[in-house]
């Protein structure tokens, strides 16, 4: 077998198998076991050293054995090496062990007594690879039976639920570092309590110094009325927080330090404060204008009631 697989394939293959087995059986969370546990990394180094040492020793043994051969045996060995893989003696021996095949000259010892019009039957055994695979499936079935039907291990529903929780956790972890694709054109107003609460937390952490905790305005303008300097509505408020306010007025672009999805929450929270009438609000900025969403219904105007006319009165 060693002669059929080159050393430059054999060593990496054995290492990959060992690596996979360790990672499967050692619970190291989201990091490889050799990174999380130094002793595992040490084992990797020792394993690679042993693989190389074994190859060196075996290669030395092969060289010594080759020197002990006669010239005729050396020539025969070299001739065998130059043959195609399927014709090399090592390959033939390996296939014979794998399939339990026998040469044509041995078939006379395998004939059964059956004779059907001159057609005879050979008493061939099942290939060892097939027998081994069959026994492996029997062992697997027994383990499965005991584990899941007798010992009562987890069900498919429980496995699905667990895997979905793990997947959800990975999605949330990904969102923490994933590029945020929210922009002015895609932003929408959030109204659910969770998003508004998150927006309030972000507002308290970043905005109260200029706008006060009640958004009544301090250095920055009052955010609770319907007068806006750079336009109201979710898109304009989102864009103002993202890109900053008027030049020289101190409103910096927050896109460098707050994710766009979090800015959406802040903007939604600010708009939820419309009409709250905080105590002692800052006077409206001169350049602020009343904002009305496009498509909003115009306020109803009172029309004078028609005057009643007595149709029976004489003119």
Q: Report the predicted TM-score, pTM, of the whole model to 2 decimal places.
A: 0.42
Hey, how many other C-beta atoms are within 10 angstroms of the C-beta on 23? 14
Computed on alpha carbons and rounded to an integer, the radius of gyration of the chain in Å comes to 41
CA 266/CA 227 separation, integer angstroms: 18
Phi, psi dihedrals of residue 157, rounded to the nearest 5°: -65, -45
Better-scored residue on pLDDT, 236 or 95: 236
Phi, psi at residue 225, to the nearest 5°?
-95, -175
Nearest one of 255, 234, 251 to 180, comparing CA atoms: 255
Q: For residue 95, give every residue at least 6 positions away whose Cβ sits within 8 Å of its Cβ, in sequence order, or none.
A: 101
Query: Is the separation of the CB atoms in 21 and 13 below 8 Å?
Result: no
Burial profile 29-48: b = 16 or more Cβ within 10 angstroms, e = fewer: eeeebbeeeeebeeeeeeee
- What's the rounded Cα separation, in Å, for the pair 224 and 76? 97
pLDDT one-digit tens code per residue, 60-78: 998 898 888 888 888 877 7
Taken in order 255, 256, 257, 261, is the CA torsion positive or negative? positive
Burial label, 199 (beta-carbon count in 10 A; 0-12, 13-18, 19+): buried
Interval 183-241: pLDDT, tens: 888 888 999 999 999 999 999 999 999 899 998 888 888 898 888 888 889 999 999 99
Domain ranges of the chain: 1-68, 193-290
Choices 3.40.50.720, 3.40.50.1820, 1.10.443.10, 1.10.760.10: CATH for 193-290: 1.10.760.10
Q: In this predicted structure, which of 10-19, 65-74, 94-103 has the lowest mean pLDDT?
A: 94-103
């Amino acid at each position: 077998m060693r002669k059929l697989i080159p050393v430059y394939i054999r060593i990496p293959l054995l290492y990959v198998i060992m690596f996979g087995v360790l990672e499967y059986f050692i619970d190291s969370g989201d990091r490889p076991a050799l990174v999380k546990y130094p002793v595992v990394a040490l084992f990797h180094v020792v394993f690679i050293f042993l693989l190389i040492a074994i190859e060196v020793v075996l290669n030395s043994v092969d060289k010594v054995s080759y020197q002990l051969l006669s010239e005729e045996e050396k020539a025969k060995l070299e001739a065998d090496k130059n043959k195609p893989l399927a014709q090399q003696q090592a390959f033939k021996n390996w296939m014979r062990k794998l399939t339990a095949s026998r040469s044509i000259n041995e078939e006379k010892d395998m004939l059964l007594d059956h004779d059907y019009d001159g057609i005879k039957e050979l008493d061939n055994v099942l290939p060892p690879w097939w027998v081994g695979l069959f026994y492996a499936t029997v062992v697997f079935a027994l383990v499965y039976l005991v584990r899941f039907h007798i010992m009562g291990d987890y069900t498919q529903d429980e496995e699905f639920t667990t895997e979905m929780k793990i997947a959800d956790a990975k999605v949330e972890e990904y969102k923490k570092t994933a590029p945020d694709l929210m922009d002015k054109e895609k932003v929408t107003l959030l109204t659910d309590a969770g998003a508004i609460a998150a927006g309030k937390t972000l507002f308290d952490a970043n905005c109260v110094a200029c706008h006060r905790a009640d958004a009544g305005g301090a250095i920055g303008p009052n955010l609770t009325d319907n007068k806006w300097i750079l336009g109201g509505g979710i898109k304009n408020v989102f864009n103002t927080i993202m890109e900053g306010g008027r030049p020289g007025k101190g409103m910096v672009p927050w896109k460098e330090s707050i994710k766009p999805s979090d800015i959406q929450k802040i903007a939604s929270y600010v708009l939820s404060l419309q009409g709250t009438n905080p105590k002692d609000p800052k006077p409206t900025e001169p350049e602020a204008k009343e904002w009305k969403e496009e498509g909003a219904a115009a306020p109803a105007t009172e029309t004078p009631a028609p005057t009643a006319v007595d149709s029976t009165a004489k003119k």
